[in-house]
């Protein structure tokens, strides 16, 4: 990571973290061209995980967006400015302001060098990464070799000869469907500008099915394509899942449970009305001014900053305990945390080099641990947990 984009977000209504991330991905698609499309940049590791921390008060959401970038300063600045074009999150008004784009290399260069030496030794000793790369390259021959190209869009070999067509979001969706024997799928290449060749192809078929992911991004793609080309049926992946990762059994089931596009559109319209009624804030012109100028995260005290040094010395997903007398325990794997916690007296702090998820919070509560320190919130994390949680990516 070379740069870190920090942006303040205000939303005039109640939305979730996933809605904000979905808006960032969806509303910037096609805005800056293929080279600066966020989803593609994440796949190539040029942009890291988009992190959002929010707080809800009085029916409004205030938060901080963090986007790490390994691109140059010009490209990073363009991504930052694109965020400020987003003015709605779902049915709610929103305002995003970039606070700063910081160069993290200057302060972390020496730490990176030391840590890189340790990681290199681990990599050489395990040999696991190289093995995975070889397996993936060999396996790719079975799928990529059967994929073809239709005016720049990845597709199966039967898209032109078949009477029916399946439209999916991206290239990886097509590849996964090919693995399951579905050869008439074509990529829409995200939710950016839809090619006229795809519109003409769909309008010439007897049946067109749109296969969308089980999230808001998939629903956004339906809204866009349903308005400009022929869509007869909609097959949606299970909630929270994507077509590129579905096993064959789920793919077959999801396609068999497709619904008419007109019926799906009515369901979407009903859901939109309920969301607006439930979450939408009043359209007052001064709602931004009513909220604080900048979203500020809590700053960790000095003793917690010292604990972050212990975290940096741990291997990935490794943990250790700090006892009441200040002594530091031995490094352990994540699987041994619960057993060690129950058999160790006087544990005051649990430090883990990884996300703090719901299970970690349960262990801390059962062992009466006061403080948990990790890298970031994980799956199922709750701010109402018994132990106070601090995160190196947010609080130092």
The parts of the chain modelled with pLDDT lower than 70 are: 106-108, 110, 112, 123-145, 190-192, 275-286
Predicted confidence at residue 127, as pLDDT, reads: 54
Provide the CATH number for the domain around residue 62: 3.30.70
Residue 349 belongs to what H/E stretch? strand 347-352
Q: What angle do CA 45, 47, 51 make, to 5 degrees?
A: 120
In a domain, 367, yes or no: yes
List phi, psi (to 5°) of 151.
50, 45
For residue 81, count other CB atoms closer than 10 A to its CB: 13
User: Which burial class, exposed, middle or buried, applies to 44 when counting CB atoms under 10 A from its CB (0-12, 13-18, 19+)?
Assistant: exposed
The residue segments making up the domain with residue 127 are: 109-138
Domain count, the chain: 4
In a domain, 8, yes or no: yes
Predicted confidence at residue 90, as pLDDT, reads: 84
Task: For residues 204 and 309, state if they share a domain.
Answer: no
Predicted confidence at residue 137, as pLDDT, reads: 52
Query: Which pairs with CB-CB distance under 8 Å and at least 24 residues apart come from 41-45?
Result: 41/71, 41/79, 45/70
In a domain, 18, yes or no: yes
Crossing angle (nearest 10°) for helices 17-28 and 216-228 = 40
Relative to beta strand 233-236, strand 207-212 is parallel
Read off the pTM. Answer: 0.41
Nearest to 369 by CA among 385, 353, 391, 383: 385
In a domain, 53, yes or no: yes
In a domain, 234, yes or no: yes
Give yes or no for a contact between 188 and 168, defined as CB atoms under 8 angstroms apart.
yes
Predicted confidence at residue 291, as pLDDT, reads: 76
Place of tokens 């969301």: 275
Predicted confidence at residue 235, as pLDDT, reads: 95
Task: For residues 379 and 329, state if they share a domain.
Answer: yes
In a domain, 387, yes or no: yes
In a domain, 278, yes or no: no
Predicted confidence at residue 144, as pLDDT, reads: 47
Task: For residues 100 and 120, state if they share a domain.
Answer: no
Task: For residues 172 and 216, state if they share a domain.
Answer: yes
Q: How far is CA 29 from the centre of its chain?
A: 15
Predicted confidence at residue 143, as pLDDT, reads: 47
């Amino acid at each position: 990571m070379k740069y870190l984009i920090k942006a303040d977000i205000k939303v005039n209504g109640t939305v979730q973290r996933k809605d904000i991330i979905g808006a960032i991905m969806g509303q910037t698609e096609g805005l800056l061209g293929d080279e600066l499309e966020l989803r593609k940049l994440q796949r190539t590791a040029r942009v890291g995980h988009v992190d959002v921390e929010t707080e809800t008060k009085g029916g409004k959401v205030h938060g901080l967006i963090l986007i790490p970038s390994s691109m140059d300063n010009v490209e990073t600045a363009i991504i930052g400015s694109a965020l400020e074009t987003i003015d709605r999150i779902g049915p709610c008004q929103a305002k995003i302001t970039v606070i700063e784009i910081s160069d993290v290399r200057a302060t972390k260069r020496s730490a990176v060098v030391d840590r890189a030496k340790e990681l290199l030794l681990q990599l050489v000793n395990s040999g696991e990464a190289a093995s995975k790369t070889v397996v993936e390259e060999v396996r790719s021959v079975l799928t990529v070799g059967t994929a073809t190209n239709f005016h720049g869009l990845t597709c199966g070999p039967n898209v032109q000869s078949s009477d029916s067509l399946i439209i999916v979001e991206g290239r990886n969706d097509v590849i996964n469907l090919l693995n399951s024997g579905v050869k008439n799928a074509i990529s829409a290449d995200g939710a950016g500008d839809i090619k006229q060749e795809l519109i003409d192809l769909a309008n010439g078929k007897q049946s067109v099915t749109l296969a969308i992911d089980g999230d808001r991004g998939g629903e956004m793609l339906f809204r866009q394509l349903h308005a400009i080309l022929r869509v007869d049926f909609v097959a949606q992946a299970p909630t929270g899942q994507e077509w590129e990762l579905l096993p064959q059994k789920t793919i077959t089931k999801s396609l068999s449970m497709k619904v008419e596009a007109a019926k799906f559109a009515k369901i979407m319209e009903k859901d939109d009305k309920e969301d607006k009624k439930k979450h939408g804030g009043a359209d007052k012109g001064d709602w931004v001014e009513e909220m604080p100028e900048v979203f500020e995260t809590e700053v960790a005290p000095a003793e917690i900053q010292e604990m972050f040094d212990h975290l940096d010395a741990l291997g990935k997903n490794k943990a250790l305990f700090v006892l009441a007398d200040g002594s530091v325990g031995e490094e352990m794997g994540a699987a041994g945390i619960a057993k060690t916690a129950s058999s160790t007296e006087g544990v005051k702090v649990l430090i883990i080099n990884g996300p703090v998820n719901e299970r970690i919070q349960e262990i801390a509560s059962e062992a009466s641990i006061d403080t948990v320190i990790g890298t970031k919130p994980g799956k199922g994390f709750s701010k109402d947990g018994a132990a106070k949680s601090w995160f190196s990516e947010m609080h130092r």
